């Protein structure tokens, strides 16, 4: 058996719990009940009403409550627009349109809307902070275009598009999503034609962003929102409005008859930006581009800036290519010259190792001539001039040391570059020589090396 507690009022009785708790300024106090929601704090105020943050008393769903001003509740037109905003938002049903899911009356007869609670900032606040990059600007404008296109397909013209009615909602995973707000003065179109919510000839909208035909009080279609989007794009890309004045009448007059300045004359923008913005700000509604074309041009503008941050003429590319080729040729030549010098340094030591200078040592003064042990015959020096006959001395013949066959020599004593003459080439006994000036004596170290190189490993049989 289920027991119902009597001490807790049901949601149906929240609206009849008594008068609203308001402050001296007319705002609701925290804790006041508006339908099924309990007010926590004030979020903002506008010309039509005040927005509060509230929470559902049963399911704890956090929402935003838009409460119509008390003086507006006595005006049937204001109440009708309030209802129109709720119907328009639910009729569109797009992710870039704020979701409105509740409507009701307070205990004192004031109309309110319950809508999704958004965290972030308005586009107007973002423009005031400055530092908008081209990529970010194009991305935001493309999302606004998606929202307007969905509204137009549902037969709704916003008529009051401006940065304060565009909200940049922060997402839990990072990034922002554009939310289009305030369809209070939206116009419903039937069969492609507008249905007047105001009297013919009356003007309604924001003077800084109003379309010329809207300022004249004429019938509107979706091109009026395209004009307002062009004004927002002009402000985001250049940092200023196309028309500026402190007087609303002057602003409306400029929108009607004054051509807008070229955007590139205010900020460094490519020609495609000039063409797009000037087309969107055309005074004739039929000459303005459709929203799909606007989004396509914004994509081209964003992708073109990503590919090349600076526009370079064709001759600039030719000069750049020529300079790059000249640099490559210079590097190749430098590398070739360096390789040639390195090869020359390698070849010079190799030539010295193959053909070292030949040093000769004479032992005629101390011993008879020994058989020459060399791998290749070397050119003999020219013979000295013969001395006079009186100076000729006949030395006694000396026995030459016996020459042993090459196979009897010790391998450790052999020089790798010397060969032993065969028996057929065995030298004959030394012939008598004439006396001549003795050459300089070799150094002891060199003489020792030569003696060691020519000495036999076996003891000689002849003393």
Give the bridge partners for 63, in sequence order.
54, 116
For 373-463, where are the alpha helices, taking DSSP H only? 444-454
Taking each helix axis from N to C end, the angle separating 134-153 and 223-238, rounded to the nearest 10 degrees, works out to 170
Q: At residue 209, what are phi and psi to the nearest 5 degrees?
A: -125, 15
123 within 8 A of 147, measured Cβ to Cβ:
no
Rounded Cα distance, 206 and 403, in Å: 126
Structure token digits, residue 146 = 């998606």
- Local structure of residue 413 (DSSP, 8 states): G
Nearest to 278 by CA among 327, 226, 317, 318: 226
Structure token digits, residue 373 = 């042990």
User: Positive or negative CA dihedral for 144, 148, 153, 154?
Assistant: positive
Rounded Cα distance, 24 and 320, in Å: 72
Query: Strand 120-122 to strand 166-170: parallel, antiparallel, or no bridges (unpaired)?
Result: antiparallel
Rounded Cα distance, 221 and 44, in Å: 30
Q: Which residues contact 177 (CB under 8 A, 6 or more apart)?
A: 95, 96, 143, 168, 169, 171
Rounded Cα distance, 375 and 417, in Å: 6
Active-site annotation, residues: 160
Structure token digits, residue 182 = 């305030």
Q: At residue 292, what are phi and psi to the nearest 5 degrees?
A: -60, -40
Query: At 288, is the secondary structure helix, strand, or coil?
Result: coil
Q: Which secondary-structure segment (H or E) carries 56? A: strand 49-56
Taking each helix axis from N to C end, the angle separating 134-153 and 76-92, rounded to the nearest 10 degrees, works out to 100
Rounded Cα distance, 55 and 38, in Å: 5
Q: Which residues contact 446 (CB under 8 A, 6 or more apart)?
A: 359, 361
Structure token digits, residue 222 = 């979706």
31 within 8 A of 11, measured Cβ to Cβ:
no
């Amino acid at each position: 058996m289920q027991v119902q507690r009597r001490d807790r009022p049901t949601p149906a009785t929240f609206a009849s719990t008594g008068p609203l708790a308001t402050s001296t300024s007319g705002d609701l106090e925290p804790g006041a009940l508006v339908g099924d929601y309990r007010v926590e704090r004030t979020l903002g105020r506008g010309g039509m009403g005040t927005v509060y943050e509230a929470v559902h008393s049963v399911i704890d769903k956090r929402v935003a409550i838009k409460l119509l001003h008390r003086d507006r509740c006595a005006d049937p037109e204001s109440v009708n627009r309030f209802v129109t905003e709720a119907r328009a938002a639910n009729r569109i049903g797009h992710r870039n349109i704020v979701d409105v899911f509740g409507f009701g009356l307070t205990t004192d007869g004031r109309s309110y809307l319950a809508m999704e609670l958004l965290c972030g900032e308005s586009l107007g606040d973002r423009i005031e902070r400055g530092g908008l990059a081209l990529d970010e600007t194009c991305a935001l404008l493309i999302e606004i275009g998606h929202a307007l296109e969905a509204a137009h397909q549902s037969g709704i013209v916003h008529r009051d598009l401006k940065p304060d009615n565009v909200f940049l909602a922060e997402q839990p995973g990072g990034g922002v999503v554009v939310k289009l707000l305030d369809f209070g003065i939206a116009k419903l179109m039937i069969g492609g034609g507008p249905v007047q919510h105001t009297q013919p000839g009356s003007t309604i909208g924001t003077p800084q962003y109003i379309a010329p035909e809207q300022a004249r009080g004429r019938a509107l279609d979706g091109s009026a929102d395209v004009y307002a989007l062009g004004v927002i794009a002009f402000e985001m890309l250049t940092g200023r409005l196309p028309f500026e004045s402190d007087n609303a009448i002057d602003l409306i007059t400029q929108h009607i008859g004054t051509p807008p300045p070229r955007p590139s004359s205010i900020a460094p923008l490519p020609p495609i930006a000039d063409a797009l913005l000037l087309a969107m700000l055309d005074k004739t509604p039929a000459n303005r581009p459709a929203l799909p074309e606007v989004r396509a041009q914004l994509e081209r503008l964003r992708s073109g800036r990503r590919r090349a941050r600076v526009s370079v003429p064709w001759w600039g590319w030719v000069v750049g290519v020529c300079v790059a080729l000249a640099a490559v040729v210079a590097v190749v030549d430098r590398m070739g010259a360096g390789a040639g010098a390195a090869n020359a340094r390698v070849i010079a030591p190799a030539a010295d190792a193959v053909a070292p200078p030949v040093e000769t040592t004479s032992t005629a003064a101390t011993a008879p001539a020994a058989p020459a042990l060399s791998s290749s015959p070397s050119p003999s020096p020219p013979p000295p001039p013969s001395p006079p006959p009186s100076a000729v001395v006949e030395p006694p013949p000396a026995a030459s040391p016996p020459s042993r066959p090459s196979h009897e020599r010790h391998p450790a004593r052999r020089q790798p570059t010397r060969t032993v003459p065969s028996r057929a080439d065995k030298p004959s006994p030394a012939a008598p020589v004439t006396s001549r000036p003795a050459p300089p004596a070799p150094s002891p170290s060199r003489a020792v090396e030569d003696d060691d190189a020519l000495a036999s490993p076996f003891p000689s049989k002849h003393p």
